[in-house]
């Protein structure tokens, strides 16, 4: 979702850019990956590393050893990395050692929680990148506090919102709401995938019990990540879910999922991107984590950080489903033109 607008803008400026897409294969569910490429209008990746699953160390090492020959062969002027996954730090490290310039899209986000692997990836990637492209001004402040020179930092806005605004109309073609028998503004959507939430039986059970309580007020639609579903089965949660108003469905493609969450009365998630997208759409969002690297969605948007305590989740959901909407604004430069500003910066350095 972050690469698609940048790639499209680079293709429009073919006199300046000749982009190539490298798919590391870190997100290795083929059906999910292929669906997203199709929905986003991305071509088949120029290079597919096929790294697959593994521990953080194994996966990061595999990406580095597979990507290094690609970087040596292609001799790129820039390698653009996005977000905070293992692919981000792995490719940035390879380029740093080879003397290839790295641009980090979504730089400067901080949760202040170093127990999160993503936080380590963010900090390390920013420390070795040559151009740091930020989504919000608090990210600029984070980088300044860490001693990153200001001349490396550019506030360009949020490229995730480029994808959102570009595809909202297209998503109206999806029949997902009709297929599930739900009406706009009359249901809740849940996503859960973080190990801290779904690998611990007690934590996961508490969240599901809270969701069951929410489902007494509105239907709850839960597209289930493969990791999450495996743990549901391992912990024997089938009976708990069957007795609730929670509907489990398989993971959705980008457009189907956009159509689903854009019509929700409430979203509950441990994802980062959904905190941003719901802010722009004005949809109440409860983030089931102890911290967030996107505090602007709380300060300005519709996001509320509720953690994983079942009682707090139930209360926050009840408040969100009440009649008084949360006063919210759209953050600066979340306007659908971040990819243009990113390409401007890359063409000027």
Residues 6+ apart with CB under 8 A from 263: 177, 182, 183, 184, 185, 187
Q: What is the pLDDT of residues 179-224, one digit of tens each?
A: 999 999 999 999 999 999 999 999 999 999 999 999 999 999 999 9
**Percent with pLDDT over 90 in the chain:** 93
Assign 57 to helix, strand or coil.
Answer: helix
Q: What is the pLDDT of residues 241-268, one digit of tens each?
A: 999 999 999 999 999 999 999 999 999 9
Active-site positions?
193
**Which pLDDT score is estimated for 327?**
85
Identify the residue whose tokens are 């740091």: 132
Q: What is the pLDDT of residues 146-162, one digit of tens each?
A: 999 999 999 999 999 99
Domain 168-320 in the same topology as domain 3-158+334-348? yes
* Sign, Cα dihedral of 54, 105, 297, 220: negative
Identify the residue whose tokens are 């999450």: 228
Among the listed residues 17, 9, 51, 12, the one whose alpha carbon sits nearest the alpha carbon of residue 347: 17
Show me where the domains of the chain are located: 3-158+334-348, 168-320
**Phi and psi at residue 266, in whole multiples of 5°?**
-155, 140
Tell me the pLDDT band of 315, cut-offs 50, 70 and 90.
very high
Assign 238 to helix, strand or coil.
Answer: helix
Q: What is the pLDDT of residues 51-77, one digit of tens each?
A: 988 899 999 999 999 999 999 999 999
Average pLDDT, the chain: 96
Q: What is the pLDDT of residues 269-282, one digit of tens each?
A: 999 999 999 999 99
Q: Is the pLDDT of residue 30 over 70?
A: no
Global confidence as pTM: 0.94
Structure tokens at 38: 């199709």
**Which pLDDT score is estimated for 29?**
65
Per-residue b/e over 137-171, b at no fewer than 16 CB within 10 Å? ebbbebbeeeebeeebbbbbbbbbbbbbbbbbeeb
Structural contact between residues 305 and 284, judged by C-beta atoms closer than 8 angstroms: no
CATH superfamily of 168-320: Glycogen Phosphorylase B; (3.40.50.2000)
Taking residues 287-315, what's their average pLDDT? 97
CATH topology classification for 3-158+334-348: Rossmann fold (3.40.50)
């Amino acid at each position: 979702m972050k690469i698609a607008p940048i790639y499209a803008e680079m293709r429009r400026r073919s006199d300046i850019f000749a982009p190539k897409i490298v798919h590391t294969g870190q997100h290795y569910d083929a059906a999910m990956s292929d669906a997203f490429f199709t929905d986003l209008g991305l071509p088949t990746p120029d290079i597919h590393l096929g790294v697959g699953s593994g521990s953080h160390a194994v996966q990061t090492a595999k990406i580095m050893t597979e990507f290094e020959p690609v970087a040596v062969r292609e001799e790129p002027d820039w390698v653009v990395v996005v977000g905070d996954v293992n692919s981000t730090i792995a490719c940035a490290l390879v380029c740093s050692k080879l003397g290839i310039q790295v641009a980090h899209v979504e730089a400067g986000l901080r949760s202040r929680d170093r127990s999160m692997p993503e936080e380590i990836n963010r900090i390390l990637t920013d420390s070795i990148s040559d151009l740091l492209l930020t989504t919000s001004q608090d990210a600029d402040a984070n980088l300044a506090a860490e001693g990153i020179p200001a001349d490396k930092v550019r506030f360009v806005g949020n490229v995730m919102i480029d994808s959102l605004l570009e595809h909202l109309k297209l998503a109206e073609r999806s029949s997902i709401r009709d297929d599930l028998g739900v009406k706009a503004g009359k249901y809740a959507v849940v996503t859960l995938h973080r190990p801290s939430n779904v690998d611990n039986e007690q934590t996961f059970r508490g969240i599901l019990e809270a969701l069951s309580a929410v489902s007494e007020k509105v239907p709850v639609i839960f597209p289930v990540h493969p990791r999450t579903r495996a743990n549901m089965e391992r912990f024997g949660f089938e009976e708990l879910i069957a007795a609730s108003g929670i509907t489990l469905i398989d993971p959705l493609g980008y457009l189907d999922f956009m159509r689903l969450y854009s019509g929700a009365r409430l979203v509950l998630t441990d994802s980062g991107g959904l905190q941003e997208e719901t802010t722009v759409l004005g949809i109440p969002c409860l983030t089931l984590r102890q911290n967030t690297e996107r505090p602007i969605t709380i300060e300005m948007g519709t996001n509320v950080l509720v953690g994983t305590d079942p009682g707090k989740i139930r209360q926050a959901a009840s408040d969100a489903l009440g009649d008084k909407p949360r006063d919210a604004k759209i953050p600066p430069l979340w306007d659908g033109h971040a990819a243009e500003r990113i390409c401007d910066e890359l063409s000027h350095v």
